[in-house]
Chain A
């Protein structure tokens, strides 16, 4: 059974940093693109970043470029999101998801999400 479990969320002050983790199991982690998607409280979904199987390709939404870094550790079947210079508008539930081996790579499995709150 495919499982994705996020952790690392919490309350942080504006300008602070946080590192999210996503533990993957039930599939060959090294064979899949992975993604982070966020959802501000009461609002819609926003794509944040994608990473390919070996971590050599990374893509980001403009609003987080230069502040967020996606990475992965195949040995530990884990995906990470390092978030620096956090802003109030980064407050959201952050989901990690697997990108399917299908054209246009839909997100076929999602974690339960971890809440990041940026506030003073």
Chain B
């Protein structure tokens, strides 16, 4: 059971928009800790996708965006492409556990 809750799966057709939620609590996201997002393509290492809630590293397309409100964060992907099919993870810090925490991951399927 992950401290940060993500939907196990989401799907969308090419060109559509999908969102992935990351729900935490008052000891992590709600306490003001930043949320980062990672993309893990099949058989590869994770890749940083969004950092500090809303920021994209150089090279990440602007089709990917992040937001945060209260005890939750979201990753939005617009103009879905087949290459976006991957697992997505949110990450934050939890002060009651004194630990870095990840969400359980969301598998994105492009129909």
Are the C-beta atoms of B45 and A104 separated by less than 8 Å?
no
Are the C-beta atoms of A47 and B99 separated by less than 8 Å?
yes
Asked if A59 CB lies within 8 Å of chain B CBs, one says yes
Are the C-beta atoms of A45 and B38 separated by less than 8 Å?
yes
A-B contact count (CB 8 A): 63
Are the C-beta atoms of B105 and A108 separated by less than 8 Å?
no
B31-59 at interface with A (beta carbon < 8 Å): 33-34, 36, 38, 40, 44-48, 51-52, 57
Known pairs A45-B38, A111-B45, A113-B45; A104 contacts B52 (CB<8 A): yes
Are the C-beta atoms of A44 and B33 separated by less than 8 Å?
no
Binds B, one of A8-16, A70-78, A95-103: A95-103
Please, how many angstroms separate the alpha-carbon atoms of A108 and B2 in the complex? 22
Are the C-beta atoms of A102 and B102 separated by less than 8 Å?
no
Please, how many angstroms separate the alpha-carbon atoms of A74 and B101 in the complex? 27
Known pairs A104-B33, A104-B36, A106-B91; A47 contacts B51 (CB<8 A): no
